[in-house]
Amino acid sequence: MIRSNTFLLAVCAIASLANAQTLERQVIATAGSSFTVGSLTVSTTLGEPFTATLSNGNHILTQGFQQGEPVRVKLNIRALLQGPFNSGTGLMDDGLRTNGLVPLGEPYSALGFVQVGGGNETVTPAVLATTGNDAIVDWVYLQLRDKDDNTLVLATRGALVQRDGDVVDMDGISPVSFAASADNYYLSVFHRNHLGVMTLAPVALNSSAVAIDLTNGSVTTYGMDAQADVGGTRVLWCGDVSGDGTIKYTGAGNDRDPILVAVGGSTPNNTSAGYLSTDVNMDGLVKYTGSGNDRDPILVNVGSTTPNGIRTEQQP
């Protein structure tokens, strides 16, 4: 009977201990400190066992009731998309969101964009319910590139862009962050039917959100005419329907024909609704003819009087 009671007490004690901890990163202590080891931020507290296993940032470091947290660089990016941009308001229209077409998961992995440490980001319906200037317009795809080799992509991820151009994390309001060490990086911003843009020089990033505004000319971009200028506001060129890094109105692989195909080929006056790359102005409706059609912006961007022209994405 004594042994049975002892066993029951032991079981209760174990259960109590198991329930005494949670997985929340909270520790009550009178003193402690925080420091960086490689690509990890480590917190220590007095009276708590401390065991460190250093790594290259791809492994978890456990210490006491806490775990090492990867160092995250943060960016306050601002970028505008020409397709939905309204020069009258200085904002982008959010037709995709209001029509319930913005997906809850990032679309770029499925479109063939190479992911390096990122991908599979998701958002909740509540974030997409936000209205006003901070309403979500669509997903964008971000790259951090090596400071010594602007062709070497070190990290990628999906993010959200608001009507006012703020590029935000999955909560719809916070600066975007990457699990990367504080350093200098080139930043590239892409959209699924716009030409991407990259900073001309590496930008110093750290755990404090660094402002990178690609809309007002304060940040020089790589290449020539990397963005369209709409009344002094810089916006990403729209019309790369095929996603090949060029905008073409005529010839093989042009971006106009897919729009005609999307509405029915032999029925150019038809429309097609959905989350589609052929929806150049991103209002949720593909149109080949008529007011607000998706074909005309392509012609304008290659040069209205030079339809055979080609506009090429400015990336190394």
Per-residue pLDDT tens digits for 180-212: 999 999 999 999 999 999 999 999 999 999 999
- CB neighbourhood size of 177 (10 A): 18
- Residue 90 and residue 174 share a domain: yes
- CB neighbourhood size of 250 (10 A): 15
Q: 214, 235, 256: which is the final residue of a domain?
A: 235
User: Where is 235: in which H helix or E strand?
Assistant: strand 233-235
- Residue 227 and residue 305 share a domain: no
What mean pLDDT do residues 210-236 have? 97
What does the pLDDT look like over 139-161, one tens digit per residue? 999 999 999 999 999 999 999 99
Using CA atoms, how far apart are residues 150 and 116, in angstroms rounded to an integer?
A: 15
In a domain, 279, yes or no: yes
- Residue 211 and residue 191 share a domain: yes
Tokens of 184: 């200098």
Per-residue pLDDT band at 18 (split at 50, 70, 90): very low
Domain that holds residue 303: 246-312
Please list, in sequence order, all residues whose beta carbon lies within 8 angstroms of the beta carbon of residue 15, skipping any fewer than 6 positions away.
Answer: none
The answer to whether 43 and 54 have CB atoms below 8 angstroms apart is no
- Residue 212 and residue 253 share a domain: no
- Residue 231 and residue 253 share a domain: no
| 3 has a pLDDT exceeding 50 | no
- How many folded domains does the chain comprise? 2
In a domain, 126, yes or no: yes
What mean pLDDT do residues 42-58 have? 52
What mean pLDDT do residues 212-239 have? 98
- Residue 213 and residue 106 share a domain: yes
Task: Look at residues 300, 310, 201, 308 and name the one whose alpha carbon lies nearest to residue 247.
Answer: 310
In a domain, 22, yes or no: no
| 218 has a pLDDT exceeding 90 | yes
What does the pLDDT look like over 257-266, one tens digit per residue? 999 999 999 9
> What pLDDT does 57 receive?
47
